[in-house]
Amino acid sequence: MMTSEELNMYIAAGAVNEVIRVAEAKQVKYLSRIADEICDRRGARLVLVTGASAAGKTTTAKRLCTQLLVNDRPAAINISTDDYFVGDDLTPRDENGELDYEHVECVDIRQLADDMNALMRCEPVKRRRFDFVNHRPVFTDELISVPEGGMIVLEGIHALNPRLTEGIDDAVKFRVFIEPRPNLDVFGGITPSPSDARFLRRMVRDHQFRKRSPIETVRLWPKVRAGEAKWIDPFRAGADAAFNSYLTYELAALKFYVGGLLERCRLELGEDRQVMNMIRLLNAVDPISPEAIPGDSILRETIGGSQLEY
């Protein structure tokens, strides 16, 4: 395990690209092993990829599709459960009357199940999208289909919930759980938690792509965590494989983006525990220029500029 002091030494010496290359190569290696496991599972055709908010599901699913193609599995297509969100008009509300974006019924379960079953029968379906800025579904005329023997990779926070794939034989499913488990020693034997890693990613992503202020991200986080405990954690034990989406250098990479956002939160929210904890973590590392981050890195899902199509 690398320490923050060692990481800072690489950064100061202009040698951090070596740390980046090794971290990225490890992720490719682990995904390749998961792809091998999937291909070794006789009859597996539907790969279900899940993890909590900002775990890196979308990029992982896309890169897993590539690894399946490397193994000569035909037409590995990627579908996100996010594209089946029903929109604010139909989203369930919590006990306080507020929109509950973590609820499984935020997803159009019937339509998703119908589409998955149709694709498993090699029938074409219309691709659906979701507009996260305006919080509404977008219905397209684009047709997608899977040939005989082709693979489907379905990713989203509820992907392992059996309600989303009703009517599909469990024998064809392969379940992958994603979580960023930090491997950077920041405070003499203390590493950031998976929740810490995801919080920082989410704050940057919300600000970059969802027009959400950092204050709102902080205020929503307890609801996000409560939703995870209710809708995601009960299904993680059923996963066939686990993938660690954390990159050793990412705390330094995210500092470039999130430092100013956290300072805004500190000024408005005062000594908020979550905010102050994140500031302490960031103070332990020096920043890395975003130019050093590879175009297909999982961090590009958070900061933008990815070579992958989202």
Flag whether pLDDT at 217 surpasses 90: yes
pTM: 0.93
Looking at residue 125, its pLDDT comes to 94
Looking at residue 305, its pLDDT comes to 93
The confidence band for 214, taking pLDDT boundaries of 50, 70 and 90, is: very high
Instruction: Give a yes or no: residue 132 inside a domain.
Output: yes
Mean pLDDT of the chain: 93
The confidence band for 52, taking pLDDT boundaries of 50, 70 and 90, is: very high
CB 158 within 8 A of CB 228: no
Instruction: Give a yes or no: residue 310 inside a domain.
Output: no
Flag whether pLDDT at 8 surpasses 80: yes
- pLDDT one-digit tens code per residue, 239-282: 999 999 999 999 999 999 999 999 999 999 988 999 999 999 99
Instruction: Give a yes or no: residue 309 inside a domain.
Output: no
- pLDDT one-digit tens code per residue, 84-135: 999 999 999 988 888 898 899 999 999 999 999 999 888 999 999 999 888 8
Pairing of strands 173-179, 46-51: parallel
Structural domain boundaries, residue 210: 2-303
Cβ atoms < 10 Å from Cβ of 189: 8
Looking at residue 136, its pLDDT comes to 92
Bridge partner residues of 85 (DSSP) = 107
SS3 content of the chain, % helix, strand, coil (to 5): 50, 15, 35
Instruction: Give a yes or no: residue 263 inside a domain.
Output: yes
Instruction: Give a yes or no: residue 33 inside a domain.
Output: yes
Vertex 102 angle, CA 97 and 107, to 5° = 100
- pLDDT one-digit tens code per residue, 232-241: 999 999 999 9
Flag whether pLDDT at 35 surpasses 80: yes
Instruction: Give a yes or no: residue 277 inside a domain.
Output: yes
The confidence band for 152, taking pLDDT boundaries of 50, 70 and 90, is: very high
Residues 6+ apart with CB under 8 A from 120: 45, 46, 146, 152, 168, 172
Looking at residue 75, its pLDDT comes to 62
- Where are the strands (E) in 13-107, listed by range? 46-51, 77-80
Instruction: Give a yes or no: residue 308 inside a domain.
Output: no
Number of domains in the chain: 1
CATH number at residue 92: 3.40.50.300
Looking at residue 118, its pLDDT comes to 92
Residues 6+ apart with CB under 8 A from 139: 126, 128
Instruction: Give a yes or no: residue 192 inside a domain.
Output: yes
Vertex 136 angle, CA 135 and 142, to 5° = 130
Q: What is the mean pLDDT of residues 151-167?
A: 93
Per DSSP, 160 falls in state: T
